[in-house]
A and B are shown apart, each in its own frame.
Chain A
Amino acid sequence: MQLMIKSKNLHKYYEGEVRVHALRGVDLSIKKGEMVAIMGPSGCGKTTLLNCLSGLDDITKGKVWLNGKDLSALSDNKKTEMRALNMGFVFQFYNLLPVLTAVENVELPLLLAGKSKGARERAKNALDMVGLSHRYNHRPSALSGGERQRVTIARAIVNEPAIIWADEPTGDLDTKTSDNIMDILCELNNQNGHTMVLVTHENRVADRAERILHMENGVIQCDEVREV
């Protein structure tokens, strides 16, 4: 299968009063369509790894390739374009724009990527897929936590990205809603073949992934491939 994400000897330092060595030489390959969970104790570098792989954060040393492209060779604008065209993000705290309605929030990545034609329809379709067809015109403040997270998922899939990154997507939700969100993510992975990388500390969530990377102290300790 085609390689979607690859890192080699990936290091990340955080500068500050105390220098923190967050990633200590991570080597990793993720194939297209794989659903990978990254687990580990707090502070082990899970989110840092996700941020570095997705180009949200700069790496200190090493290489990252996304779909064959060397991330470190790209400018900030190119990385941004790449995110807009090929990636979707789901975060723990939703981070929706409070001034936009649900459908406008979902539509935003398309507009940023310059795909304004039919954007509204696609946004509605995405919301339909996550079961929010009755909430198009509600602003985030009028939605529940689970609904907000579903809007972020709709936003993440609306541009049919090759990769979806999810950082603790269920961290702020109750068990039932959490299961519901994971159902949606799994279905998207199965039906659409999105490559999915999710960071979690919940075993119940990680169990839905076909591969689990266990991290500790900035390195991958164990790469567990599972039958789902």
Chain B
Amino acid sequence: MILPLLAIIGVVVALVLFDAFRYKVLFKIGCRNISRRKMNTVIVILGLMIATAIISSSFSVGDTMDNMVEGEIYKEWQDTDVTVFNRTVEGRLISLPYSTYQELQKDILSVDNVAGVSGEVHGSLPVFNPETKLSQPNTRVIGMDFDEGEGFGSFYKGGRSFHPELEEGEIFIDTRLADELEAEKGDILVLFPPRSDDRSFFTINEVIDSKGRGAFPGPNKVIMSLSDAQEIFGVPDEINYIRITSMGGVAGGVEYSDQIFDDVQKILQEDPDYDVLEARGNKNQVIQDFKENMSQFTDIFFIFGTFSIIAGIVLAINIFVMLGEERKSEMGMSRAIGMKRSQLRRVFSYEGMIYAAAASFVGIFVGAGITYVIFYILEDIFATFGGDVSLLEYFLVTQESMILAFGFGFLLTMGTIFFSVTRISKLNIVRALRDIPEPPVSKKSSKLFYLAIAGLFVGLLMLLIGTNVEQLWLPVTGISLIIVGIGTITRRWVGDRIAYTGVGVFLLIWWLVPLETIDFFDDYTAELEMFILSGVFLVTAGVLIIMLNGSIITRGMEKMCRSEKGFKAVMLTAASHPLKEKFRTGMTMFIFALIIFSITVMGMIVGMFDTNVELMIEEQSGGYDIIGMSNVERPIDNMERIIRESENLDIDDFNHIDSAYRGSVSSSMTDPLDRKTVIGIDRNFVNNNTFGMVDFLDEYGSKENVWEAVLTDPSVVITNAPVNQFGPPVEEGAELGTMITFIDKDGNPTEKQVIGLMNQSLISGYFMSKETMEDQFDISTNSLFFFNTIDEVDPDKIAREMNRELIQYGFQTIVLGTLLREALSATYMFFDLFSGYMALGLVVGIAGLGVISLRSVHERRLEIGMMRAIGFKRKMIRYTFLIENSFITLCGIVLGSLLGIAIGWLLWYDGLRPMGWEFSIAWNSIVLIGILAYVSMFLTAIPSAQKASKVSPAEALRFD
């Protein structure tokens, strides 16, 4: 990517410089224009750098995420590169005789680049500290042969390595578990062996760091001798887990991970003694998978940043058009004395190239700064989820990203400059010399007519392509272009005002029609690009309507101030100027409206989340208060009996308790790693749950029939739909009507159709009957429990009690209301972060307005002098400028807010209303953003208003 980009930049720069060499005097003019007004130059660079800053920040978000992924995985995996193990469908690890392992070890050691192999016994057990009464239900217990550690590094305590020596009945625990159990060296911990009521007692020999050989992915580890682990897990003379390390060390080993993984997999598959195990973990693959997931996050930032990039481009056009206007008479004279249009373009292009380079350079660092702030906020959000990763520690901007951001920013800015300069160079010499405004484009303009025809053609083409590929943005944009094309053609007969007001109105109608009312688009897919396109088209439509009918608003403004002495004159002049400069006013209004639109839509979504939080919790929780999971090694046969027998739990605190089987089933005959989660349910669960159903096959008629079919028909399943904004990702392929393949206990494929999609994301998997799970997959263990408590009790308190009482089962609970509220709170923080990111565009808007006001004072010195001469007081001049800016800003704010509310309504109507959500308008945040934007603008406009008011009438009239 970098080389082609650098090549393009190189070509552009070389062409411009070569050209500059030929036209030295033009280059000189271009360069000197830059230093002409230093403040102007600063504003131009600030305006132009926004696009680069957004691009740079999205790249550096990616860099930091990648760096974090690598860093965290290196921390957890340390020297381990490949892991070998296998599980039963219920999730238990499968064992291999130690003698067979020794043969396998020799084979693995013969693989290229392998530095060491460790045969271990792993399992997950509840651990209890009798001293502190604290427990951890799911602790990773690792038994290893300490003589087999070559290549895996040392054990560490307090940052220093040590030689491990464990007596029988002694263990190491990691610092995290020590903190959780408040345990220390010498304490005795209770471990609950699997599938028995026994308890085992172990003394802590050392609290170790999660580093070197003592590291393993995930928190809470107990490390013991291989023989102790074999005994506690009931696998004498067996191992169930193999770790392999390569020559490269912690980071360098990644280079060999794939090769070792493939070679080891081959060895395992070729020998029937080994084929119970599979190569399952590959450090490099884990890094790549995580990076891929994280790239979606980077993309989201880029997409949300698009609004600011568009605003930045519009500002750049505005700035150059203004520069053009400012230098109009000079350009007119230059043209008069022999400068060709192409030469005029050259002067601006040289100047623009320097601006673009400077702005792109500054943009890289501003973007990196934005990323730093993003990660500062993200650290808080991650902490809400219980994460303890120090994100800022991983903050990184790679050279590659800096070059890419500079390159894209530079080319984007240069493209914008070329576009603006082409427009500028078409000036009429006489009008430029005499500073007469350009006349409106003739009704009979053949250029516009052909452009309109081209627009119609492109629109039709997009419509046609869109209907083939079923991507919503294509036909919707196509029809919008057709509307613009027709409007531009009709202006020949009805004039600009009627034609383009019509275009605006039709665009508004078209983009605000609920898609649900258009059956044609039922199967079309739409992504976030629709959000951006809707913003661009709706705001363009709104700005067109306002700019062409602004006189109605300004008449209203004049009337409002009729009674105030002298202020009618102020209002008259203040209202007329923005409408006289339609292009620049329209562009500035567009920037404001677009950004306010994007923030308002986000605010609307958050507002509706807020309004419907209880409904969401009800739907997501399925009417249950607590979900519990037992340790796979210690299944619970009868939950009700255990609760009845418990001293601290009361069965009367529960309305009902439902249970489910859970397992992981292979989904492919060829790829053993392709597994799917299956959940077995019974009639109690069907009768008691209130999970919403997003969609189901029509032939079943009702939600109840769908559940009934799952109980009675082994060929159908229900799964959760990918509609939720929080929680874990859903299973792939979870689309209504699709056939999902599962491999049954005999190794034969069996297909099941997805007949319903549940509106929840907490329990991810394919729901089928318990009987089907028993018959086809040999899973018959209840390991998932659903509790509905009575209103009088606190689910959090009951869950804590259950964790304590059922510690020997490794029982873990989730209090759904609490979890969902926490998830929602984190979601709000994400929304706030994205809103803040989008609000960067406001800086563009305010900067744009700042440029316009400052230039206005300069341009209108004579006019100001005249106004002062005929009786305008200083404060009246000040008010005139402030009202002008207020007019543009307020129009933008109101327009953006209204359109944002409209799109919020549309989102609700098409997507949330069918789920029973209530519509609401987030007035608080909308008004707050509006006020913030207005106040910022006001503060920016004050210096120029002050400057205008200080213009001396005598001097202005004499010298201008």
Residues of A within 8 A of B (CB): 14-16, 47, 51, 54, 56-57, 76-77, 80-81, 83-85, 88-89, 91, 93, 95-100, 104, 107-109, 111-113, 155
Contacts and interface: CB of A to CB of B under 8 A. Distances in A.
B329 A99 contact: no
A111 B26 CA distance: 9
A109 B332 contact: no
Interface string B323-350: 0000001101111111111010000000
B330 A97 contact: yes
B669 interface: no
Contacts of A97: 29, 330, 333-334
A100 B32 contact: yes
Interface of B: 24-25, 28-29, 32-33, 36, 329-330, 332-341, 343, 428-430, 433-434, 439-440, 442
A112 B433 contact: no
B335 A80 contact: yes
Contacts of A111: 24-25
Contacts of A16: 439-440
A39 to B, nearest CB: 19
Interface SS of B by simple majority? helix
| Max chain A Cβ within 10 angstroms of own Cβ: one of B28, B337, B440 | B337
A51 B25 contact: no
Contacts of A98: 36, 330
Contacts of A56: 336, 429-430, 433
B439 A84 contact: no
A83 B33 CA distance: 25
B23 to A, nearest CB: 8
13 contacts: A56-B430, A77-B340, A77-B341, A80-B338, A80-B339, A89-B337, A91-B333, A93-B329, A95-B336, A95-B433, A98-B36, A98-B330, A111-B25
A91 B429 CA distance: 13
B337 A104 contact: no
Given A15-B439, A89-B333, A104-B28, A113 B338 contact: yes
A149 to B, nearest CB: 13
A38 to B, nearest CB: 15
A57 B429 contact: yes
B872 to A, nearest CB: 25
Given A15-B442, A100-B28, A112-B25, 11 more contacts: A56-B429, A56-B433, A84-B337, A84-B338, A89-B337, A93-B329, A95-B329, A95-B332, A97-B29, A109-B338, A112-B340
A57 B428 contact: yes
Nearest to B36: A99
Contacts of B333: 89, 91, 95-97
Contacts of A113: 338
Contacts of B32: 99-100
Given A76-B341, A98-B36, A112-B337, A107 B442 contact: no
B439 to A, nearest CB: 5
A56 B335 CA distance: 9
Contact of B25 (A89, A96, A107): A107
Nearest to B335: A80
Contacts of B33: 99
B336 A83 contact: yes
Contact of B343 (A15, A47, A112): A112
Contacts of B442: 15
A180 B710 CA distance: 105
B339 A112 contact: yes
A81 B341 CA distance: 11
**5 interchain residue pairs of minimum CB distance:** A84-B338, A95-B333, A99-B32, A112-B338, A111-B25
Given A56-B336, A108-B337, A91 B25 contact: no
Contacts of B343: 112
B334 A89 contact: no
Nearest to B434: A47
| Max chain B Cβ within 10 angstroms of own Cβ: one of A77, A99, A109 | A99
B722 to A, nearest CB: 58
Contacts of A85: 338
| Max chain A Cβ within 10 angstroms of own Cβ: one of B36, B338, B434 | B338
A91 B428 CA distance: 16
Given A57-B428, A93-B329, A97-B334, A80 B25 contact: no
A57 B36 contact: no
A96 B850 CA distance: 28
Contacts of A84: 337-339
A109 B341 contact: no
Given A100-B29, A100-B32, A107-B25, A81 B329 contact: no
Contacts of B340: 76-77, 80-81, 112
Contacts of B330: 95-98
A57 B336 contact: no
A112 B29 CA distance: 13
B439 A81 contact: no
A89 B329 CA distance: 14
B457 to A, nearest CB: 29
Contacts of A54: 336
A81 B335 CA distance: 10
Contacts of B341: 76-77
A104 B337 CA distance: 14
A226 B337 CA distance: 30
Given A57-B430, A76-B341, A99 B332 contact: no
Contacts of A15: 439, 442
Contacts of A112: 25, 337-340, 343
Given A99-B29, A104-B28, A111-B25, A91 B433 contact: yes
A84 B430 CA distance: 16
A53 B440 CA distance: 25
A99 B339 CA distance: 16
Nearest to A167: B433
Contacts of B338: 80-81, 83-85, 109, 112-113
A77 B442 CA distance: 23
Contacts of B439: 14-16
A56 B427 CA distance: 11
Contacts of B334: 97, 108
A76 to B, nearest CB: 7
A157 to B, nearest CB: 12
B337 A109 contact: yes
A24 B135 CA distance: 103
Contacts of B329: 93, 95
| Max chain B Cβ within 10 angstroms of own Cβ: one of A14, A76, A112, A155 | A112
B430 A51 contact: yes
Contacts of A89: 333, 336-337
A83 B430 contact: no
Contacts of A155: 337
A80 B330 CA distance: 16
A47 B337 CA distance: 17
B386 to A, nearest CB: 61
Contact of B337 (A14, A83, A93, A99): A83
Contacts of B440: 16
B753 to A, nearest CB: 70
B189 to A, nearest CB: 81
A111 B29 CA distance: 12
A80 B329 CA distance: 17
A14 B24 CA distance: 37
Contacts of A95: 329-330, 332-333, 336, 433
Contacts of B339: 80, 84, 112
Nearest to B429: A56
A75 to B, nearest CB: 10
A99 B351 CA distance: 13
A51 B428 CA distance: 11
Nearest to B33: A99
A98 B331 CA distance: 11
B691 to A, nearest CB: 67
Contacts of A81: 338, 340
Contacts of B433: 56, 91, 95
A51 B335 CA distance: 13
